[in-house]
């Protein structure tokens, strides 16, 4: 059996070909394989910043490369390693969770309530998350948080996990995809009952991206049984998804009523001032500290989600580190012009895809059924009308379509809006989802939450 060091060396060899030289030198060159057990490879990196960046930006590519080398389904975790001792395999870590693979992930040390920037766009979700962490199974059970991608849902789940652990309680965190994969493996090995039993001794279940289970009937049924068992025992359940339960048309009324049985809250897009607050909080220790005019340009150019703001900061930081670029409003505006348009397009595609219960891959792919085609044309129309992006730029992000195809899609919806009230209503609904909510209060840190009586 190959050692973790040998496996990771082979992965690095493949990645060196697949990523740019700058990205490899910045994020991967100082990494090392630490341990490999239970189908999980633990990779040591020099800092939390690097670990977080790799987890967010390169995880899919790294895992795909690792699977290709080993020829089976495996996972990868990035942990900070100071070189003095070898970190143990993930199975030996304790995070207050159960012994399931999904629950063994360490809670991200940067995803705490104290590190969350709170404003009107996420205030209710934040307050309710604190409440369930401090009084699990009492006030809001289940708590269902939904939003578009990159708005902080996973941050809230990890923050709840940290506070739960601090109070001596057990929290199990899993994504729906991890849950489904482990359940399928358990069924193949005739270990279904054993799999379900792993969730019985926890105080809080933190379940990310529950919408992933909608079309997986057997897995959804298993989840529903676990949900009912935990709920009956007054155990707290917190779920996240990219839309509200009422917007999941293929969900049975029985499951939907369960998910809506507690508190359902949404996280909106941050407005300009909220984006400024987020940037200030994220640059406390970076080269951008106190560069208010630069942050203002970033906040104005990147109008999408929190993750895109963080990505813009990583990009600008890399520019200063690798090329010596001096950051000022003019240089930042130039650097972000192309990336901002790309981010806008991806954000529009995500919102439209969510509205039609599709995926972004559906819109950018070659599916041509009636619903997908209509959604694709509406996305083109909105991007073209709401953002200053060229036909070529839109076509590139929509799977490499040429400008004539993009223009046809735009004109098709423009004509339909004059005669088809149904399409006009759908366009209006999507526009409303795209518009950020007005924010009148700015950044706060964690505050005491008023307890319900």
| Separation of alpha carbons 41 and 326, rounded Å | 38
What value, to the nearest 5°, has the Cα angle with vertex 290 and ends 288 and 296? 75
| Separation of alpha carbons 400 and 393, rounded Å | 9
Of 24, 26, 20, 4, give the one whose Cα is nearest residue 12.
24
| Separation of alpha carbons 92 and 318, rounded Å | 35
Domains and their CATH numbers in the chain: 4-86 (3.30.300.180), 123-266 (3.40.50.300), 272-434 (1.10.1750.10)
| Separation of alpha carbons 23 and 298, rounded Å | 21
Residue with tokens 């399931």: 100
Residues 6+ apart with CB under 8 A from 293: 328, 329
Question: Residue 447, by phi and psi: left (phi above 0), alpha (psi -120 to 50) or beta?
Answer: beta
Residues 6+ apart with CB under 8 A from 425: none
Half-sphere exposure for 171 (CA within 13 Å, toward CB): 29
The per-residue pLDDT for 324 is: 78
* Cβ atoms of residues 437 and 119 within 8 Å: no
Residue with tokens 């300009």: 272
The per-residue pLDDT for 88 is: 34
* Cβ atoms of residues 340 and 309 within 8 Å: no
DSSP code per residue over 411-440: HHHHHHHHH-HHHHHHHHHHHHHHSPPP--
Query: What residues are paired with 237 via a beta bridge?
Result: 205
| Separation of alpha carbons 168 and 172, rounded Å | 13
Q: Hey, what are 16's tokens?
A: 């060196």
Q: Hey, what are 383's tokens?
A: 């991007």
Query: What residues are paired with 36 via a beta bridge?
Result: 41
Of 371, 377, 414, give the one whose Cα is nearest residue 398.
377
Residue with tokens 């891959």: 361
| Separation of alpha carbons 239 and 227, rounded Å | 11
What value, to the nearest 5°, has the Cα angle with vertex 62 and ends 59 and 65? 145
3-state helix, strand, coil in the chain (%, to 5): 55, 10, 35
Element (H, E) at 376: helix 370-386
pLDDT in single tens digits along all 453 residues of the chain: 678 899 999 999 889 888 877 778 778 888 999 888 878 899 988 877 678 778 877 888 999 899 888 888 888 988 887 554 333 333 323 333 333 333 444 677 778 898 888 888 899 999 999 999 999 988 899 999 998 778 889 999 999 998 988 888 888 898 888 888 888 888 887 888 888 888 888 999 999 989 888 888 889 999 999 999 999 999 999 999 988 888 887 778 888 888 998 999 999 888 888 888 888 777 755 455 557 788 888 888 777 678 778 788 878 878 777 787 788 888 887 777 666 567 778 888 988 998 898 888 889 888 889 999 999 999 999 988 877 677 887 888 888 898 889 999 999 999 999 889 889 889 988 988 876 544 333 334 444 444 443
């Amino acid at each position: 059996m190959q050692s973790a060091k040998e496996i990771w060396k082979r992965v690095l060899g493949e990645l060196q070909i697949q990523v740019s030289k700058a990205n490899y030198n910045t994020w991967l060159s100082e990494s090392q394989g630490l341990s490999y057990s239970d189908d999980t490879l633990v990779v040591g990196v020099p800092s939390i910043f690097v670990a977080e960046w790799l987890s967010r930006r390169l995880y899919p590519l790294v895992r795909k490369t690792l699977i290709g080398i080993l020829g089976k389904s495996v996972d990868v975790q990035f942990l900070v390693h100071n070189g003095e001792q070898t970190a143990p395999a993930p199975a030996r870590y304790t995070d207050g969770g159960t012994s399931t693979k999904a629950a063994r992930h360490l809670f991200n040390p940067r995803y705490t309530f104290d590190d969350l920037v709170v404003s009107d766009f996420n205030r209710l979700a934040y307050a309710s998350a604190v409440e369930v962490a401090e009084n699990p199974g009492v006030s809001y059970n289940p708590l269902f948080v939904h939003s578009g991608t990159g708005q902080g849902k996973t941050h809230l789940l990890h923050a709840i996990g940290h506070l739960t652990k601090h109070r001596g309680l057990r929290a199990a965190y899993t994504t729906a995809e991890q849950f489904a994969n482990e359940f399928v493996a358990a069924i193949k090995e005739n270990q279904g009952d054993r799999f379900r039993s792993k969730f019985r001794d926890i105080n809080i279940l933190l379940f990310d991206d529950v919408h992933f289970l909608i079309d997986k009937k057997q897995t959804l049924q298993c989840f529903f049984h676990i949900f009912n068992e935990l709920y009956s025992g007054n155990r707290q359940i917190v779920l996240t998804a990219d839309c509200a339960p009422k917007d999941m048309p293929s969900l049975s009324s029985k499951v939907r009523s369960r998910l809506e049985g507690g508190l359902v809250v949404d996280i909106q897009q941050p407005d300009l001032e909220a984006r400024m607050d987020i940037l200030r909080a994220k640059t406390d220790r970076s080269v951008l500290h106190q560069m208010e005019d630069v942050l203002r340009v970033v906040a104005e150019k990147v109008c999408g989600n929190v993750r895109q703001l963080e990505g813009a900061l990583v990009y600008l930081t890399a520019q200063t580190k690798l090329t010596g670029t001096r950051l000022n409003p003019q240089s930042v505006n130039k650097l972000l012009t192309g990336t901002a348009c790309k981010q806008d397009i991806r954000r529009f595609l995500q919102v439209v895809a969510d509205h039609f219960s599709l995926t972004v891959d559906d819109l950018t792919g070659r599916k041509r059924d009636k619903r997908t085609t209509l959604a694709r044309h509406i996305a083109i129309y909105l991007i073209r009308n709401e953002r200053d992006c060229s036909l070529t730029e839109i076509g590139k992000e929509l799977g490499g379509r040429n400008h004539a195809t993009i223009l046809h899609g735009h004109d098709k919806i423009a004509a339909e809006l004059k005669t088809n009230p149904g399409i006009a209503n759908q366009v209006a609904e999507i526009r409303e989802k795209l518009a950020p909510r007005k924010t009148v209060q700015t950044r706060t840190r964690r505050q005491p939450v008023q307890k319900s009586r």
